Structure formats: C-alpha cells, structure tokens
Amino acid sequence: MTNATTTQIIWNGCDGYMDIESVTARFGGYNIERTADGTATLYTPRESFTSIEVVEIDRATVPTDEDGDMILDGLYMTDDFRVFRAA
C-alpha cells in the first residue's frame, strides 16, 4: 500500500482486534470515550481497552511459515482479516 494512512484499532475484549469505527457502527451500545488526540478507550463492565494507532499493510507482504500460515509477529489482524503494523 503506497499511501500509509493511520487508523485506530482496539481489542474487542474477547477474541480479536477491530477497527474503532467498526466497533462504533456495529455495536452502538459499547461505551467508547475519545481523547483530543484521537485515542479511544472501550469500557466494558469489567475492563477497559485503549486503541492502538496502526497502518494497514498488504496481506501478500506478510511472511508465511512452511504450512502457509501467516507469521503475525509484531502485526495485528482484525476480525475482518485486515493486517496492520504499529504506526
């Protein structure tokens, strides 16, 4: 990807990362607070999670192991299978 645009992803509190805009659109009942710098915090009844600023990368550039599985060391994959690196 040539134009590196940053976005915010956040742990969904269960099993993976989500684009913060997806969380807001899909789960309006979540309590999300944003700070002036764009960071978001997701509050659940028991925990809170802070967003991470990331850049999407092309899945084809992610190395794979001998079985063809992606090696995600230092990378993040969202629930819609997009891959990101820290900004």
User: In this predicted structure, what is the pLDDT of residue 23?
Assistant: 75
Domain annotation covers residue 20: yes
Domain annotation covers residue 1: no
Q: How many domains are there within the chain? A: 1
Q: Is the pLDDT of residue 13 over 90?
A: no
Average pLDDT value for the chain: 87
Give the structural domain span for 74: 6-86
Q: Is the pLDDT of residue 78 over 90?
A: yes
Contact 53, 86 (CB under 8 A): yes
37-42 contact pairs (CB < 8 A, 24+): 38/8, 39/8, 40/8, 40/10, 42/10, 42/11, 42/12, 42/13
Higher pLDDT, 20 or 63: 63
Higher pLDDT, 63 or 11: 63
Could you tell me the two tokens for 18?
């989500």
Domain annotation covers residue 76: yes
Domain annotation covers residue 29: yes
User: In this predicted structure, what is the pLDDT of residue 29?
Assistant: 63
Contact 79, 17 (CB under 8 A): yes
